[in-house]
């Protein structure tokens, strides 16, 4: 069984006074944390300015071994995708 969670994500850029809009995708073979708990934890990460990389690292820390997390951001002139290697534990 492959489980995929996909959701919009909004965060503040730590480098410029701007809001980043993107899509967060979490995939795992097997079970993932329950959505309400994961939502609350991600909301805590996005409550403060965070780089794309810091967001990915924070979300990856919430996931079981082998899970993957990727975020796609649309910034002026670019589409940026930031992901991790499979989460290792």
Tokens of 31: 């079970």
pLDDT for 87:
57
The proportion of the chain whose per-residue pLDDT surpasses 70, expressed as a percent, equals 94
Q: In the predicted model, is pLDDT for residue 22 greater than 80?
A: yes
Q: In the predicted model, is pLDDT for residue 27 greater than 70?
A: yes
User: If pLDDT is split at 50, 70 and 90, which confidence band does 63 have?
Assistant: very high
Mean pLDDT of the chain: 90
Task: For residue 89, count CB atoms less than 10 angstroms from its CB and return exposed for 0-12, middle for 13-18, buried for 19 or more.
Answer: exposed
Angle between helices 35-46 and 52-60 (to 10 degrees): 150
pTM (2 d.p.): 0.86
Mean pLDDT value across residues 69-81: 88
């Amino acid at each position: 069984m492959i489980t995929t969670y996909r959701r919009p994500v909004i965060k503040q850029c730590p480098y410029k006074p701007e809001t980043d809009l993107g899509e967060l995708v979490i995939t795992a073979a097997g079970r993932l944390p329950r959505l309400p708990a994961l939502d609350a934890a991600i909301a805590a990460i996005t409550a403060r300015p965070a780089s794309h990389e810091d967001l990915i690292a924070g979300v990856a820390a919430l996931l079981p071994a082998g899970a993957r997390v990727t975020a796609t951001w649309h910034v002026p002139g670019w589409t940026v995708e930031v992901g991790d290697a499979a989460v290792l534990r």
